[in-house]
Amino acid sequence: MRQHNAYQNVSQLEGMTTGFGIVPIEEIPASDPSDAASALRPMVLVVDDTPAIADKLTENLDRSGYAAIAAYDAETALETALLMPPDLALIDAQLSGSSGIDLATCLREKLPDCKIVMFSGDEGESELLNSVKRGLGSGV
């Protein structure tokens, strides 16, 4: 199986199972016309391997008018982004098991219109993040 920066090609994801449950279409409630505005909210993908941080950022963004979703690892984040392309991705540079920088690079290739914001709790990461910005272009 050919891998790109530890992420599978989109064509290789076909047929794979996810952690998402299947809900019959009949059980999905009809949308309320007053919900039309929520469908237009910008989508933000928050990626941090510390669930408390990802969840709090997601909660704050939801309250601020964004449609935010949390992912706790790079693989889930990539899968989520390919299913629901975000307008913005907030990515922790230090993800356990994989690099947030690799994820940002992969998102930039697959979703060039997605804006990317990298962050880190490690003060020593600032120069690394600056070099990533230079390498990924103005969308970071």
Among candidate residues 23, 25, 60, the one with its CA nearest the CA of residue 44: 60
Strands 3-4, 7-8: pairing kind: antiparallel
Query: For 32-83, what is each residue's pLDDT tens digit?
Result: 555 555 568 999 999 999 999 999 999 999 999 999 999 999 999 999 999 9
3-class DSSP state of 56: helix
Q: Which amino acid is at 83?
A: L
Q: Where are the domains of the chain?
A: 41-135
Q: Which CATH superfamily is domain 41-135 in?
A: Response regulator (3.40.50.2300)
Residue whose token pair is 């993908």: 45
Neighbours of 105 (CB within 10 A): 19
Question: Is the predicted pLDDT of residue 28 greater than 50, yes or no?
Answer: yes
CB 57 within 8 A of CB 44: no
Query: For 84-124, what is each residue's pLDDT tens digit?
Result: 999 999 999 888 877 888 999 999 999 999 999 998 876 65
Better pLDDT: 72 or 128:
72
Q: At what angle do helices 126-136 and 100-110 cross, to 10 degrees?
A: 20
Element (H, E) at 65: none
